[in-house]
Structure 1
Amino acid sequence: MFTTLLVIATIHTAITLTVGACAGFGIGYLAGWPTVEQLRAELADAAWQLAHDPLTDLYNRSGLRTVHAALAASGPAQPIIAILLDLDGFKEINDEFGHDTGDDLLMEIADRLAPLTAAYGGSVARHSGDEYAAILPVRQHGIFDIGERIKAAIAEPIQLQGEAGPEAVVVTASIGIAIADSTEPLQAALHRADIAMYHAKAQGRNRHVLYASGMTMPDRASRRGPRLRDRRHSRGGVDAA
């Protein structure tokens, strides 16, 4: 008589183990046991999923921490740029166009940010919701240049599917930039970038601000910005955010 046992491996591979008994001694064999190549592929896939955002395929927070840790361990301390950006008025876009369209927008922004940050030798992550974080090496005259290029890339009109059909909408971002040492905890660097980002919001949004010593978080009232209808791409041009 044969009994079939289902064994679930820690990497979520289902293996059927069939155990038989015959003439007073046991005979067992494995059916469907994965090859070494399959195990390696599944482990690599599991590791990739742990480090990446499932919607945008960018790094997630954990993945960005891993990138930063590797940078910190790669050699002597070096200055880096920590960037945190938040899409202006994303909640209004979700409310008007729906969450599926909001997800499409997040993926489009990710597709714009990934090659841009890579061109500067850096990495970008979806930090949370409609926030993105990046770390890049410091290059001469590159701090404000990267801020301007990110702002410009995001502000390119995006086609969103509305009730009446496709509609071009300009999405802007508030960008905070901080200079940090590569051996400094990433969270500390991003916290300063976060403060600078909220100063960008307080100053009218659609801009980047470099963190300065002593800068503190602005009050909540000053973080409000224009609504979605003020950012629409009309036939006559793009309304400023």
Structure 2
Amino acid sequence: MIATTLVAFTLGGVTMWPFIRRLRDRLADAIWQLEHDPVTGLLNRAGLLVAYATLAEADNAGPIIVALIDLDDFKPVNDTHGHDQGDDVLAAIGKRIRDIAALHDGTAGRLAGDEYAALLPVRTHDVARIADTFVALISQPVELTADGEPVTVTVTASVGLALAEATDPFEEVALRRADIAMYHAKHHGRNRHTVYEPGMAMPAADGRRGPRLRDRRQLNDKATA
């Protein structure tokens, strides 16, 4: 009787293992999707919040460089080549941003639309050089295929950088400062960077494009709360 029970239990375990493995894989995939952008594979807004908290809570936590990267006039890419090719460009640019962030022991994400962010622990005080690297590498041509033909697309970016202390809230302080700096880069000609300085304010509205996707989403979240 005991032997029969043990055999039945063993067989049941063998039968259940593939199901448990599939369930575990699905759970891991669901968790990945919660924190990542499906187009670029980068972290999404939720993933960036987790990454920022991880950097801020490290035993040797120090200042964090927050870069906000907004592509300049990206809409014509979608209008000219289609949204699938536009997504290919977003993915290619995302990889460049991720590679730069990784080079500085950081991470990168896509906030919404054509807007990215990178989080870098401070390893150097030459923040301007890091910003120039983002600007220069993003502006390199992207090769893709549209209607079966090779196409070269070139986009530029405006980059805002801010230094945040580990105790600074991500969205309300760190990202907000980088956002202000990024809009100054837009306001002064685009395809350039600006580093946030204390007291810097958002530029005049005529230099801005209006509410972005993530701004509208935050307003909707507050309205439904």
Are 2:175 and 1:190 equivalent residues in the alignment?
A: yes
Report the Cα distance in structure 2 between the residues aligned to 1:38 and 1:88, rounded to whole angstroms. Answer: 43
Deviation at 1:163?
Answer: 6.4
Q: Which has the higher strand share?
A: 1
Deviation at 1:168?
Answer: 2.1
Structure 2 CA distance for partners of 1:198 and 1:52, relative to 1, 3 Å: same
Report the Cα distance in structure 2 between the residues aligned to 1:201 and 1:161, rounded to whole angstroms. Answer: 29
Deviation at 1:58?
Answer: 0.4
Structure 2 CA distance for partners of 1:56 and 1:164, relative to 1, 3 Å: closer
Larger RCO of the pair (alpha carbons < 8 Å, separation 6+):
2
| TM-score (normalised: structure 2) | 0.80
- Residue aligning to 1:145: 129
Are 2:170 and 1:217 equivalent residues in the alignment?
A: no
Report the Cα distance in structure 1 between the residues aligned to 2:148 and 2:191, rounded to whole angstroms. Answer: 27
- Residue aligning to 2:186: 201
Question: Matches of residues 101-112 of structure 1 in structure 2 within 5 Å?
Answer: 101-112=85-96
Show CA shifts across 1:156-196 (max 9, x none).
Answer: 11124456943323210000000001221110201110010
Match of 2:45 among 42, 45, 61: 61
Match of 2:161 among 173, 177, 186: 177
Q: Report the AA paired with residue 180 of structure 1.
A: A
Contact 2:55 2:61 in 1 (8 A): no
Report the Cα distance in structure 2 between the residues aligned to 1:137 and 1:79, rounded to whole angstroms. Answer: 7
Determine helix, strand or coil for the equivalent of 1:46: helix
- Residue aligning to 1:42: 26
Deviation at 1:97?
Answer: 1.5
After superposition, the CA RMSD in angstroms is 2.2
Structure 2 CA distance for partners of 1:41 and 1:162, relative to 1, 3 Å: closer
Report the Cα distance in structure 1 between the residues aligned to 2:153 and 2:20, rounded to whole angstroms. Answer: 49
Determine helix, strand or coil for the equivalent of 2:110: strand
Structure 2 CA distance for partners of 1:52 and 1:164, relative to 1, 3 Å: closer
| TM-score (normalised: structure 1) | 0.75
Show CA shifts across 1:202-228 (max 9, x none).
Answer: 11000010011111111232247xxxx
Q: Which entry has the higher C-alpha Rg, 1 or 2?
A: 1
Contact 1:87 1:130 in 2 (8 A): yes
Deviation at 1:199?
Answer: 0.3
Report the Cα distance in structure 1 between the residues aligned to 2:144 and 2:41, rounded to whole angstroms. Answer: 20
**What is the total number of aligned residue pairs between the two structures?**
196
Contact 2:55 2:121 in 1 (8 A): no
Determine helix, strand or coil for the equivalent of 1:124: strand
